[in-house]
Chain A
């Protein structure tokens, strides 16, 4: 009995340490006062409302959404054929190709941002937005390949071979037989890519220009200038957004199988 109580308290204390701080920012964002305090000075929704009025937040939210959705779709367009080739063909240099595609996981983001700024944006006149788009695509690509590969490996390959033998073209077999069967893997890859890209900070540190800032970077610079509760409110909203996405994904896809 005593050991049960002890083990319960260890779990509760750890969870409090991991999750408690979010409770605090949710409440701090509800403050009616002008500064970050806890407990909040009175309760109001004004800072939650203010988040939607700050122009730069709206612009950077739109950019982050564009990068997360567009970058992940681009990564899937590159990644699905690559995953298919790796799992179904005996291609030459397979190991090298896998290593190259997986490299963005190992290279710290801040270095990527700096490298793209120095060697793409400055000399080749790429815009910051394009460089950001390329960086986010490359970052999400390893996850896309990994998740799609694992669902392809769980799918028997004789189904598409049968389709081809029965006169379907290779591409037709892929679209009509393979794709419907790996649908939830692709969706899981999309969600994982979206969350990874949306929360990504280091890549965008150097890749930002006048008016071109991702949401997390915008939050960082807002934080340096002001100490009002709107960043707490925004953080709380973003936390809700990610949790909702992951919760729904888990419910319908068994998302954690793929991560």
Chain B
């Protein structure tokens, strides 16, 4: 540790000034703009925004999709994590690599695949018609279901990673011990596994939930203008109506929610040490 603090500050300042001036300042201006209606400071923008039914629908839909995607990925995540930690080291590494793989691939490519699968002439419709279950193709693309499936595929790896690392820290014999003492699988899960892997669940859940809140590509490609989420609504308000007040409000909502989730994560991480 060197004691010359001025030298240290001189080294760290360029990065901080760069981000502060060219990144945070413009974002701050944008957020402040939402409080200015016709030149004077007021909350009118927020009130008008909250009263529009479309905005309410989109806000609730975004929360709902985030919540259910996080919930389902927690269920699948626990099942998978439980199976993965019971593999031998070699196959565990391989499976883990395959789970992480999609995270490195462009989200545009990842979402595009679902058009081929869920479209009017896509695999699902073809299969259902081929089996005689349908006469005409059903609409799956541009529904909440499509957005849900896309988001789940996009963020499930984050949940699996968090849960696997939580389960790895779990002493192996606790499950066996609970079984021997007469607990059924439901009790083993609720009384042993869940309390001991709570941190991993919260971390995975937060990552998935904030990921869904701030998703743009998935709702844009799979939902279109029929299934707007907060980010696609923001884009539409600016592009169609030049409505920077709504944009600033949505931005504030997104930042406040991401920031709280991030703080929650930090608190958990520091509590664990």
> A residues bordering B, Cβ < 8 Å?
7-8, 10-11, 14-15, 17-19, 21-22, 24-25, 28, 36-38, 78-79, 81-82, 84-86, 88-94, 96-97, 100-101, 103-112, 114-116, 118-120, 134-135, 137-138, 141, 145, 157, 170, 195, 198-199, 201-202, 205-206, 216, 219-220, 223, 231-232, 235-236, 238-239, 242-243, 245-246, 250, 256
CA distance A96 to B17 in the complex (A): 11
Of B8-16, B36-44, B186-194, which stretch is located at the interface? B8-16
Tell which of A7, A19, A28, A91 touches B8, judged by Cβ atoms closer than 8 Å.
A91
Is chain A's interface secondary structure helix, strand, loop, or mixed overall?
Answer: helix
B195 to chain A, nearest CB (A): 23
A25 to B221, CA, bound (A): 15
Could you list 10 further interchain pairs (A-B, Cβ under 8 angstroms) beyond the known A82-B14, A101-B16, A115-B29?
Answer: A15-B98, A19-B98, A82-B11, A108-B258, A110-B216, A112-B27, A115-B27, A116-B26, A118-B29, A119-B26
Q: Is B245 an interface residue (CB 8 A)?
A: no
**Interface majority SS (helix, strand, loop, mixed), chain B:** helix
- B113-126 CB mask vs A (1 if < 8 Å, else 0) is 11111010111001
Q: Which of B97, B99, B109 has the most CB of A within 10 A?
A: B109
* In contact, B18 and A138 (Cβ under 8 angstroms): yes
| Cα separation A195 to B97 with both chains bound (whole Å) | 17
Task: Judge if B153 is at the interface, Cβ distance under 8 Å.
Answer: yes
Q: Which of A11, A93, A120, A238 contacts B105 (CB 8 A)?
A: A238
The residue from A21, A86, A138, A199 contacting B23, defined by CB atoms under 8 A apart: A138
A84–B221 Cα distance when bound, in Å, is 42
A81 pairs with B15, CB closer than 8 A: yes
Q: Are B113 and A24 in contact (CB under 8 A)?
A: yes
Q: Which residues from B are CB-within-8-Å of A114?
A: 30, 234, 238, 247, 251
